Structure 1
Amino acid sequence: MSIESNIHNLWQQYNTDELTAETADTATYNILDEFLTAIESGDIRAAEPADDTAGPEGWVVNEWVKQGILLNFGLRETRPREYGDVTYHDVLPLRETHDLGDRGTRNTPDGTVIRRGAHLGSDCIMMSPSFVNVGAYVGNGTLIDSCNTVGSCAQIGSNVKLGANTLIGGVLEPVEDTPVIIESGAALGAGCRVTSGFHVGENTIIGENTLLSPRIPVYDLVDETVYYGKLPANRRAFTRYVESSLGDHDLFESGAYKPAVVAVDIEAETLDQTRREEALRE
């Protein structure tokens, strides 16, 4: 049987109370270990690019992979583990890193933490302190800078640059939800936050301290469209503030504002400030 079919069977048993942490046997844990190893090798992913009919921007969510991760949480006990001189308590150990050097990937000491069940590609750089969570996929040649977090099941493409103090949010439940996707060649400035399944297109450059969330509109001046939950490919994006519906409230004498994101053509070196402001107010 395949890993996928084995996880499907365990998930069904788990949800009908036929399988619990008390009844799980060695064969069950062997399946779970094989599953985590397959994620680490990149053989299976929580979401992956497919064709244009598959879902948002041609990506498909593999619900069964998220189910397998949840099974690892539900069937394993929390126990003490060692990380250097520190004892920590978790259901999963940290990922073995002996293979990274052979693939040209660097992780600096004193705080580069990769959880079991995360994939880190070849020729990556992972600066300390930083953290990659279970189910995440980090493509070849990607930089994870200091104070960064790559959340559970996040999908990071090849040659992506994550500036310092960047947060890539995780999505485990609902299992059908698309995780955060950062396509290949994207660059995020320091202090960016990408959450709730937001999708960043290829080669897009994002200014520092930009918050990308499906709840914040993206004013795309190239397509002249307002997007939610995605930034198209080949854009430069940055935060601006637009008038809020609370602008005339007594508590806000000078007006209230809410964040928005503006996207322009990546080839455009400058854009007139008046045009920006007019576009936001249309």
Structure 2
Amino acid sequence: MSVLREDIEDLQRRYEEGLAAEAVGADERALLDEFLTALEAGEIRAAEREDGGWAANSWVKQGILLNFGLREIETHTHGGVDYHDVLPLRGTGDLPGRGTRNTPDGTVVRRGAYVGGDAILMSPAFVNIGAYVGDGTLVDSCDTVGSAAQIGDNVKLGANTLIGGVLEPVEAAPVVVEDDVSLGAGCRVTSGFVVGEGSVVGENTLLTPRIPVYDLVEEEIVYGELPPERRAFSRFVESSVGEHDLFDGGAYKPAVVATDVGAETLEATEREDALRDN
């Protein structure tokens, strides 16, 4: 992939020097298509593990942005309906051979998204460019997996879950949901938050770097991540403006509480997995 990276970085320099979409020729279009194909094959990713954490691949995120900046809007047809975008949707003919299924009437996978084997995409769900959806993962109804988001293996995204996209700045790591995580219905994960491996998150929980995580296992407050093997849920704690005259009865701010996953939670998750497999 070193040659592809060099070509994308060279194209980025030319774009910064004034290359416009209307001046893009066959060679540039072929490079943009090659880049998207590599994303769809999982050969390149917008973020990867590095020194025990996650780091963005800036050149990959630049390549994604170039596909917006150097393409013109075209008319495409999907399901008999015209739509107008710079990118077509991703072809899904490769999914059945890997045991992956996507249900009809609303499941949308944009060009440049990777979808692993034995995965399930329930309609209506949306997977955006640069996203990585691992093997055995369930993307449930009304879920959104944002640009460059990295979803691990055997993850369950409950219905109406939002995984935010992070494209700019290119150095910023995207949202990461590690292996074996279960997110309850209505969860939102945004702004580069990392959900640690094996965690179970209660429904309607907001995970974002601006909201503290009270980790009762290590007895510390952390931001921007949920440690591995935690059971997390939303609570409200006293706000610093609690004594203000405008707040009758006190003011509170959102927080996330994290405890051990526990055997009971794991058993419930295993039962749900068994139901999904049959």
- After superposition, give the CA deviation of every residue in 1:214-250 in whole Å (9 maximum; x if it has no partner): 0000000011110000000000000000011221222
SS of the residue aligned with 1:171? Answer: coil
Listed as ranges, the matches of 1:188-199 within 5 Å are 188-199=183-194
The match for 2:272 is: none
| Stretches of structure 1 lacking an aligned partner (at least 5 in a row) | 271-282
Contact 2:231 2:260 in 1 (8 A): yes
- Deviation beyond 3 Å, 4+ runs, structure 1: none
CA distance in 1, matches of 2:26, 2:264: 60
CA distance in 2, matches of 1:155, 1:79: 28
Q: Which of 231, 242, 249 is residue 244 of structure 2 equivalent to?
A: 249
The match for 2:23 is: 23
Instruction: Report the residue type matching 1:11 in the other structure.
Output: Q
CA distance in 1, matches of 2:169, 2:50: 21
Instruction: Report the residue type matching 1:26 in the other structure.
Output: A
Task: Answer yes or no: is 1:86 the counterpart of 2:81.
Answer: yes
The match for 2:100 is: 105
The match for 2:65 is: 70
SS of the residue aligned with 1:250? Answer: coil
Contact 2:22 2:72 in 1 (8 A): no
Identity of aligned residues (%): 66
Task: Answer yes or no: is 1:266 the counterpart of 2:252.
Answer: no
The match for 1:277 is: none
The match for 1:154 is: 149
| Stretches of structure 2 lacking an aligned partner (at least 5 in a row) | 266-278
CA distance in 1, matches of 2:262, 2:8: 46
Q: TM-score, normalised by structure 1?
A: 0.92
The match for 1:32 is: 32
Instruction: Report the residue type matching 1:213 in the other structure.
Output: T
SS of the residue aligned with 1:22? Answer: helix
CA distance in 1, matches of 2:161, 2:56: 24
CA distance in 2, matches of 1:73, 1:96: 19
Instruction: Report the residue type matching 2:173 in the other structure.
Output: T
CA distance in 2, matches of 1:161, 1:22: 42
RMSD: 1.2
Instruction: Report the residue type matching 1:210 in the other structure.
Output: T
The match for 1:41 is: 41
CA distance in 2, matches of 1:102, 1:50: 32
The match for 1:275 is: none
Contact 2:176 2:193 in 1 (8 A): yes
- After superposition, give the CA deviation of every residue in 1:24-67 in whole Å (9 maximum; x if it has no partner): 11000000000000000000000012333xxxx2x221000010
The match for 1:179 is: 174
TM-superposed CA distance for 1:153, in Å, is 0.1
TM-superposed CA distance for 1:268, in Å, is 6.6
Alignment: residue pair count: 264
